Amino acid sequence: MKTPLQLLDDPQLDEILPEVAALRGVQQPPQYHQEGDAFIHTRLALEALPPDADERVQWAVLLHDIGKAKTTRFIDGRWRAWGHDSVGARMVPAIMARLGLQHISDHVAWLVRHHHFALSWGLGSSRPLSKKQRRFCNQPLFPLLIQVARADAAGSHGISDKGDLIGHIERQLT
């Protein structure tokens, strides 16, 4: 089986992973994603991972935005993909089964579902984590989620503060 990054260049990507191929041309807000469409962003995020990254992280990064192909709309003068994390997470089990990777499907779906956790928490640079947020950080997959979120941030060339938020969270946990 090819790695997720190798699959992006596979001439049969449209047949192997049509959900990822569908990200070509999916618009994103240029102020946060100057790199281009969701497919380019996915490639950049995968390229940001170390070659020895956990396979669950690699697959989660490849699939983290697949929900954008179904949810992206131009609303109030801006491209938005509300709910793409939930939609994508629901798509993961069928994809992983098709690829013979059922053994990691639940973990990958959880990582895809929560890849925007830092943005949804409404944290500022000085606001401490709540008890509920700290409990979430104790999830066994949380260290992998941090890796997925960091790759997502690295693949975003714009004014996004995802990387800063992740660092703020990590500092509070040490």
Three-state SS string over 12-64 comes to CHHHHCHHHHCCCCCCCCCCCCCCCCHHHHHHHHHHCCCCCCCHHHHHHHHHC
Strand, helix or coil for residue 8: helix
Q: Does domain 4-173 have CATH number 1.10.3210?
A: yes
pLDDT at 163 over 90: no
Whether 28 and 79 have beta carbons less than 8 Å apart is answered as yes
- Among the ranges given (32-36, 44-48, 49-53, 135-139), the one the predictor scored with the smallest mean pLDDT: 32-36
pLDDT at 125 over 70: no
Helices (H) and strands (E) in the chain, counts: 12, 2
* Domain extents in the chain: 4-173
Predicted local distance difference test score (pLDDT) of residue 1: 81
Pair of tokens at residue 58: 């690699």
Predicted local distance difference test score (pLDDT) of residue 126: 74
Q: Is the pTM of this model over 0.85?
A: yes
Lookup result for tokens 């938005």: 80
